[in-house]
Amino acid sequence: AGKPQKKTADDLGIHPVTLSKWIKQDDIDRGARPGVPSSESTGLRAARRRIHELETELSIVRQAATFLGEDKPRPKGSTR
């Protein structure tokens, strides 16, 4: 506290903009500024990654169903 951001960034070996972003995110995480907290941001990234995986799996199942001559893949657990 009290030390200029540029000096602190130089001491840490990082760009001053990086330090500014870290400070801004810390303010958000502490509730001092509006925005998405780091914990939620991490969860959103994980959810988006999982959605992408599931969409890829579904695409593969649909392609396999088409290849095997089925119009639509059966729902999971379906016995027909």
Instruction: Give percent of the chain with pLDDT exceeding 70.
Output: 89
Residue 1: which pLDDT band, with cuts at 50, 70 and 90? low
Rounded distance between C-alpha atoms, residue 50 and residue 52, angstroms: 5
- Torsion sign (Cα): 8, 10, 12, 17: positive
Residues 9 and 16: beta-carbon distance below 8 Å: yes
Q: Is the pLDDT of residue 74 over 70?
A: no
Q: What percent of the chain has pLDDT over 90?
A: 66
Which residue do the tokens 């089925």 mark? 70
Q: What is the pTM of this model?
A: 0.51
Instruction: For 57, list phi and psi in degrees, rounded to 5.
Output: -60, -45
